[in-house]
């Protein structure tokens, strides 16, 4: 098989091709797995890969590669590394790059490019990927001189993983990959324009500590920044010290224990009544690693309007962007929380406030239909929770099922929740599960997807089959583009324009075609039997859960409304 | 309101694209941009004139520019003591008779005639934008055949003594 394979180039001073330099640099960055797809412009790179021990996962579409890399990065905290060929290979990555940019996921993406001599001539499979990805990357490079490659790769990993993480793309013309040099791996990073702030200004910390001491109705909004900074423990310490309730953003779920008495649930469009009213009524709002997305704030005119707003974020551009901020703190979340815990400060008396919130939680809990024989989508999430003991890595696609997963899984640990928040990318969930499973081969990974979104990237079933990855694919099949249908019901007088999916493939046969054990379940009882079996072994499984197609996600804040104007808070 | 913003950037290919792209994406209205080398090799300076409404918006612009990896420094120099210059080339219809009349008009502006043909002359003028507007107004009655303006370039004066109220967009205010 590996006939004629050259012994791996170990001696750093030896002559190497650009492609070999790339592979060698990836090893130096401790890259364990690459997500990619070959093609003409990356043939030299794939040839170098042939002789390398780095694991390469061949997806079935470049979008599958990049979402897998995102899933890998999200749960492991390590950068996801992607390779694609020039032109169509590179443009197939665009959705994933944008998704990673919006959700601050560290990715390093290598694209092939046509030879430097023909760039700009509309050569075969040429695309201006530098121009295309300028607005959707944290930074991008085109390697003009192969001698720059070791430095550029170092910089790319550094930029992707520090400060506010994000995707960095490195475009490598084919002739650059082929060129032989004596590489200089000692060249150092030189980024005078990139010095992310890590530690907070202590005066600002004191100001915030004072504000905490004086607050009567404080609340913390904890976003994904807590997860990126690995600050969950510090958040817990700080909130318990001062008895401050916590709301999570969609992406922040898992950064605070879901069962904790100070936890109010997720805020925003489909958040809990208690969380949203807390954000609405608070007198001190401390946002940490969250960016006040419109799906979280609702109409800004009503958002935390009586509150002093403190915002801790590693990206200064997020502070004051959407919500006027009285106490800005540019910092890594963990650093700021450590300082906040250390600094002398009074503990506010929040007892009345917490009682009020507990009362809200009692009166307005999440609800779903009772007294019905229908198999409800919410029950699927509850069953998954039960059979995974609340301990699985859950990836979702986008739509109603995503919101039910967020509402009902009750995440207790960090980095076990993988969802597309900022971009809301259908087709994300299943390939993301592939990447998450590769990061943690021994853990249970469940891809909760919709019948619509699953069909956008289902070709990755082939990847499951090939690697025998034990991902459990749970399709919450409501025979509709549920979230679209819900909006058409609510705002377009039930004109279900192109949102019903009465005709579907036979998902069981489809799974079986890929050699994957597949089941259809139509009731809770059937689901119990199948889940019991499916979660007892380490093989991939596909479960087509036929759930009621008429459920809506509640509570809800209609577009343009404030957090206090939720509908569907009661049955 | 009109603001003058300068950005010192590393002279990488693509940096101009990134910067103009972000301005478009975030809906900033650019009135003019100039770019050129500085005293440091590999470092260029851009001067933008942007139209923004409100301090929040200009603060966002500055922060977004600062976020770019190749951007070294961004300043809103509008309220500082600055030297501002723009160059304009104005081709005015004129025959031999009125050529001297035009010379008289442009003289106080320290503008010069840099090209002459049978039916036109080309005037070169440098100065701040008001000065250039003023000379254009005076030349317009003669018929302007063609005109180009570079947009302004600017930097702070050597001494800032006269300035009392420099806007700071530090997040540590
Ligand atoms: C790529 C993409 N296209 C379109 C949309 C718009 N959209 C949001 S949710 C949704 C319906 C998703 O249907 P399904 O996957 O079945 O999930 P459900 O809402 O039924 O749970 C659509 C079409 C999107 N988010 N992403
Ligand atoms: Mg559906």
For A33-70, how does the pLDDT look when each residue is reduced to its tens digit (9 = 90+)? 999 999 999 999 999 999 899 999 999 999 999 999 99
Q: What is the ipTM of this complex?
A: 0.92
Going from the Cα of A428 to the center of ligand 1, the distance in angstroms, rounded, reads 11
Residue A398 belongs to domain spanning = 377-546
Residues with CB under 5 A from ligand 2 (ion): A 450-452, 478, 482
B45 occurs within a structural domain: yes
A525-540 pLDDT, tens digit each: 999 999 999 999 999 9
Report the number of distinct structural domains present in chain A. Answer: 3
The reported pLDDT for the residue numbered A559 is 95
Q: 3-state secondary structure string, chain B? A: CEEEEEEEEECCCCHHHHHHHHHHHCCCEEEEEEEEECCCCCEEEEEEEEECCCHHHHHHHHHHHHHCCCEEEEEECCCCCEEEEEEEEEEEECCHHHHHHHHHHHHHHCCEEEEECCCEEEEEEEECHHHHHHHHHHHHHHCEEEEEECCCEEEECCCCCCCCCCCCCCCCC
Task: Tell me which chain A residues have a C-beta less than 8 angstroms from the C-beta of B66.
Answer: 316-317
For range A357-377, the mean pLDDT: 96
B159 occurs within a structural domain: no
State the smallest CA–CA distance between residue A567 and chain B in angstroms. Answer: 32
Are the Cβ atoms of B14 and A130 closer than 8 angstroms? Answer: yes
> Does A464 lie in the same domain as A354?
no
B111 occurs within a structural domain: yes
> Does B88 lie in the same domain as B65?
no
Task: Tell me which chain A residues have a C-beta less than 8 angstroms from the C-beta of B72.
Answer: 192-193
Task: Give the end of a domain, one of B76, B103, B131.
Answer: B76
Q: Considering chain B, what is the average pLDDT of its residues?
A: 91
Residue B134: give its domain's CATH number.
3.30.70.1150
- The yes-or-no answer on residue A124 being catalytic is yes
Atom of ligand 1 nearest to the CA of A377: 21
How many angstroms separate the CA atoms of A309 and A327, rounded? Answer: 6
Q: Considering chain A, what is the average pLDDT of its residues?
A: 96
Neighbouring CB atoms inside 10 A of A65's CB total 33
Are the Cβ atoms of A204 and B68 closer than 8 angstroms? Answer: no
- Token pair in block for residue B4: 């003058």
> Does B61 lie in the same domain as B95?
no
> Does A23 lie in the same domain as A111?
yes
B161 occurs within a structural domain: no
pLDDT at A10 over 80: no
Task: Give the end of a domain, one of A300, A328, A363.
Answer: A363
Looking at A214-218, A241-245, B54-58, which range is the least confident one? B54-58
Task: Give the end of a domain, one of A307, A330, A363.
Answer: A363
pLDDT at A353 over 90: yes
Task: Tell me which chain A residues have a C-beta less than 8 angstroms from the C-beta of B10.
Answer: 192-193
Q: Looking at A20, A110, A157, A174, which residue is catalytic?
A: A174
The reported pLDDT for the residue numbered A476 is 98
For range A358-365, the mean pLDDT: 97
| A201 closest CB neighbour out of B25, B56, B172 | B172
Task: Give the end of a domain, one of B76, B110, B131.
Answer: B76
> Does A13 lie in the same domain as A83?
yes
Q: Looking at A16, A20, A35, A62, which residue is catalytic?
A: A62
- Token pair in block for residue A559: 């577009």
> Does B9 lie in the same domain as B69?
yes
Task: Tell me which chain B residues have a C-beta less than 8 angstroms from the C-beta of A317.
Answer: 60, 63-64, 66-67
Is residue A466 within 8 Å of A60, Cβ to Cβ? no
| B63 closest CB neighbour out of A130, A135, A317 | A317
> Does A394 lie in the same domain as A359?
no
A554 occurs within a structural domain: no
The reported pLDDT for the residue numbered B13 is 85
> Does B98 lie in the same domain as B69?
no
Are the Cβ atoms of B21 and A159 closer than 8 angstroms? Answer: no
What DSSP element (H or E) covers A464?
helix A461-467
Query: pLDDT band at A306, cuts 50/70/90?
Result: very high
Residue A440 has phi, psi (to 5 degrees) of: -130, 80
B143-167 pLDDT, tens digit each: 999 999 999 999 999 988 654 444 4
> Does A208 lie in the same domain as A352?
yes
Is residue A479 within 8 Å of A502, Cβ to Cβ? yes
Are the Cβ atoms of B69 and A192 closer than 8 angstroms? Answer: no
> Does B11 lie in the same domain as B72?
yes
Residue nearest to atom 24 of ligand 1 (CA): A426
List, as own/partner pairs, every contact residues A359-363 make where C-beta atoms lie below 8 angstroms and the sequence separation is at least 24, other chains included. Answer: A360/A273, A360/A274, A360/A277, A360/A278, A361/A264, A361/A272, A361/A274
Residue A110: give its domain's CATH number.
3.40.50.970
A489-526 pLDDT, tens digit each: 999 999 999 999 999 999 999 999 999 999 999 999 99
Helix pair angle (A232-242, A333-342), 10° resolution = 30
pLDDT at B170 over 80: no
A3 occurs within a structural domain: no
- Token pair in block for residue B101: 């009349």
- DSSP character at residue A230: T
Task: Give the end of a domain, one of A300, A331, A363.
Answer: A363
For range A5-29, the mean pLDDT: 79
The reported pLDDT for the residue numbered A344 is 87
A356 occurs within a structural domain: yes
Residue A74: closest CA among A109, A104, A44 = A104
At A178, is the secondary structure helix, strand, or coil? Answer: helix
A101 occurs within a structural domain: yes
> Does A512 lie in the same domain as A388?
yes
pLDDT at A12 over 80: no
Are the Cβ atoms of B72 and A320 closer than 8 angstroms? Answer: no
Percent of chain A with pLDDT over 70: 98
- The yes-or-no answer on residue A174 being catalytic is yes
Query: pLDDT band at B53, cuts 50/70/90?
Result: confident
B160 occurs within a structural domain: no
> Does B87 lie in the same domain as B39?
no
Half-sphere exposure of A470 toward its Cβ, with a 13 Å CA cutoff? 15
How many angstroms separate the CA atoms of A532 and A538, rounded? Answer: 13
Half-sphere exposure of A302 toward its Cβ, with a 13 Å CA cutoff? 19
Residue nearest to atom 8 of ligand 1 (CA): A399
A308 occurs within a structural domain: yes
Is residue A250 within 8 Å of A266, Cβ to Cβ? yes
B9 occurs within a structural domain: yes
- DSSP character at residue A374: S
A193 occurs within a structural domain: no
> Does B66 lie in the same domain as B105?
no
A141-166 pLDDT, tens digit each: 999 999 999 999 999 999 999 999 99
Ligand nearest to the CA of A396: 1
Closest residue in chain B to residue A164, using alpha carbons only: B67
Closest residue in chain A to residue B25, using alpha carbons only: A135
> Does B70 lie in the same domain as B6?
yes
Pocket flag, ligand 1, residue A399 (CB < 6 Å): yes
Pocket flag, ligand 1, residue A478 (CB < 6 Å): yes
How many angstroms separate the CA atoms of A109 and A112, rounded? Answer: 10
The reported pLDDT for the residue numbered A1 is 41
> Does B24 lie in the same domain as B47?
yes
The reported pLDDT for the residue numbered A13 is 58
B85-112 pLDDT, tens digit each: 999 999 999 998 899 999 999 999 999 9
Residue A93: closest CA among A103, A104, A81 = A81
- The yes-or-no answer on residue A62 being catalytic is yes
Pocket flag, ligand 1, residue A98 (CB < 6 Å): no
Are the Cβ atoms of B21 and A134 closer than 8 angstroms? Answer: yes
A371-412 pLDDT, tens digit each: 899 999 999 999 999 999 999 999 999 999 999 999 999 999
> Does A411 lie in the same domain as A388?
yes
> Does A381 lie in the same domain as A315?
no
Are the Cβ atoms of A317 and B9 closer than 8 angstroms? Answer: no
> Does B6 lie in the same domain as B71?
yes
Percent of chain B with pLDDT over 90: 84
The b/e string for A152-184 (b: 16+ C-beta within 10 A; e otherwise) is: bbbbbbbbbbbbbbbbbbbbbbbbbbbbebebe
B65 occurs within a structural domain: yes
Report the number of distinct structural domains present in chain B. Answer: 2
> Does A477 lie in the same domain as A392?
yes
Neighbouring CB atoms inside 10 A of A94's CB total 17
Pocket flag, ligand 1, residue A96 (CB < 6 Å): no
Residue A246: closest CA among A234, A228, A260, A227 = A260
> Does A319 lie in the same domain as A207?
yes
Residue A97: closest CA among A457, A440, A428, A396 = A428
B170 occurs within a structural domain: no
> Does A163 lie in the same domain as A109?
yes
User: Can you name the residues that pair with A476 across neighbouring β-strands?
Assistant: A450, A545
Residue nearest to atom 2 of ligand 1 (CA): A426
Q: Residues of chain B whose C-beta is under 8 A from some C-beta in A?
A: 9-10, 13-14, 17-18, 21-22, 25, 56, 59-60, 63-64, 66-72, 171-172
> Does B148 lie in the same domain as B125?
yes
Are the Cβ atoms of A194 and B66 closer than 8 angstroms? Answer: no
Residue B52 belongs to domain spanning = 2-76
Residue B61: give its domain's CATH number.
3.30.70.260
* Burial class of residue B9 in the structure, from the number of CB atoms within 10 Å of its CB (0-12 exposed, 13-18 middle, 19+ buried): buried
pLDDT at A329 over 70: yes
A162 occurs within a structural domain: yes
- DSSP character at residue A266: E
A140 occurs within a structural domain: yes
> Does A354 lie in the same domain as A395?
no
> Does B115 lie in the same domain as B98?
yes
């Amino acid at each position: 098989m590996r006939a004629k394979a050259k012994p791996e180039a170990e001696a750093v001073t030896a002559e190497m091709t650009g492609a070999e330099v790339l592979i060698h640099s990836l090893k130096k960055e401790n890259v364990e797995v690459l997500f990619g797809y070959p093609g003409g412009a990356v043939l030299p790179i794939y040839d170098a890969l042939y002789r390398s021990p780095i694991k390469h996962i061949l997806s079935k579409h470049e979008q599958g590669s990049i979402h897998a890399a995102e899933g890998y990065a999200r749960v492991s905290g390590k950068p996801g590394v992607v390779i694609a060929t020039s032109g169509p290979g590179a443009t197939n990555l665009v959705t994933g790059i944008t998704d990673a940019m919006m959700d601050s996921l560290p990715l390093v993406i290598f694209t092939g490019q046509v030879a430097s001599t023909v760039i700009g001539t509309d050569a075969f499979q040429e695309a201006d990927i530098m121009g295309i990805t300028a607005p959707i990357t944290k930074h991008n490079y085109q390697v003009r001189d192969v001698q720059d490659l070791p430095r550029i790769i170092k910089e790319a990993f550094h930029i992707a993983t520090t400060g506010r993480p994000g995707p960095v793309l490195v475009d490598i013309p084919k002739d650059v990959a082929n060129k032989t040099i004596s590489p200089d791996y000692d060249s150092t990073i030189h980024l005078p324009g990139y010095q992310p702030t890590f530690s907070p200004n202590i005066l600002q910390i004191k100001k915030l500590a004072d504000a905490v001491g004086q607050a009567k109705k404080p609340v913390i909004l904890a976003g994904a920044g807590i997860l990126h900074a690995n600050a969950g423990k510090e958040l817990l310490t700080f909130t318990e010290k001062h008895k401050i309730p916590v709301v999570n953003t969609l992406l922040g779920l898992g950064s605070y224990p879901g069962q904790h008495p100070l936890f109010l649930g997720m805020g925003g469009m489909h958040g809990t009544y208690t969380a949203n009213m807390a954000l609405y009524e608070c007198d001190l709002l401390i946002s940490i690693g969250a960016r006040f997305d419109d799906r979280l704030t609702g109409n800004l005119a009503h958002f935390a309007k009586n509150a002093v707003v403190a915002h801790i974020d590693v990206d200064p551009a997020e502070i004051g962007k959407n919500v006027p901020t009285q106490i800005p703190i540019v910092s890594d979340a963990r650093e700021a929380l450590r300082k906040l815990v250390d600094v002398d400060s009074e503990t506010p008396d929040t007892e009345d406030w917490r009682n009020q919130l507990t009362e809200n939680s009692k009166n307005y809990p999440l609800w779903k239909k009772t007294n019905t024989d229908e198999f409800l989508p919410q029950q699927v999430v509850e069953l998954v929770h039960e059979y995974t003991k609340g301990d699985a890595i859950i990836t979702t696609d986008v739509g109603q099922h995503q919101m039910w997963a967020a509402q009902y899984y009750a995440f207790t640990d960090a980095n076990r929740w993988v969802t597309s928040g900022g971009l809301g990318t259908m087709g994300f969930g299943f390939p993301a599960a592939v990447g998450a499973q590769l990061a943690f081969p021994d853990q249970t990974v469940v891809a909760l997807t919709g019948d619509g979104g699953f069909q956008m990237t289902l070709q990755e079933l082939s990847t499951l089959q090939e690697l025998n990855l034990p991902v459990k694919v749970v399709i919450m099949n409501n025979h509709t583009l549920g979230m679209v249908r819900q909006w058409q019901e609510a705002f377009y007088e039930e004109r279900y324009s192109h949102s019903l999916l009465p005709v579907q493939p036979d998902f069981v046969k489809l799974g079986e075609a890929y050699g994957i054990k597949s089941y259809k379940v139509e009731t809770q009882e059937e689901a119990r039997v199948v889940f019991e079996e499916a979660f007892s072994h380490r093989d991939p499984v596909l479960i087509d859960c036929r759930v009621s197609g008429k459920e809506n996600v509640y509570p809800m804040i209609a577009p343009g409304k404030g957090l206090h104007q939720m509908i569907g808070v009661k049955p | 309101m009109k603001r003058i913003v300068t950005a010192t950037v590393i002279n990488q290919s693509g940096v101009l694209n990134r910067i103009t792209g972000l301005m478009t994406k975030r809906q900033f209205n650019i009135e003019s941009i100039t770019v050129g080398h500085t005293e440091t090799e590999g470092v260029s300076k851009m001067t933008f004139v942007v139209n923004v409404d409100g301090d929040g918006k200009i603060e966002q612009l500055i922060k977004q520019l600062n976020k770019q990896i190749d951007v070294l420094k961004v300043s809103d120099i509008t309220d500082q003591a600055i030297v501002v210059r723009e160059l304009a080339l104005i081709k005015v219809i004129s025959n031999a008779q009125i050529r001297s009349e035009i010379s008289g008009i442009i003289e106080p502006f320290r503008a010069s005639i840099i090209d002459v043909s049978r039916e036109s002359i080309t005037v070169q003028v440098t100065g701040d934008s008001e000065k250039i507007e003023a000379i254009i107004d005076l030349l317009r009655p003669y018929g302007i055949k063609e005109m180009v303006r570079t947009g302004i370039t600017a930097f702070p004066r050597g001494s800032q003594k006269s300035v009392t109220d420099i806007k700071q967009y530090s997040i540590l205010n």
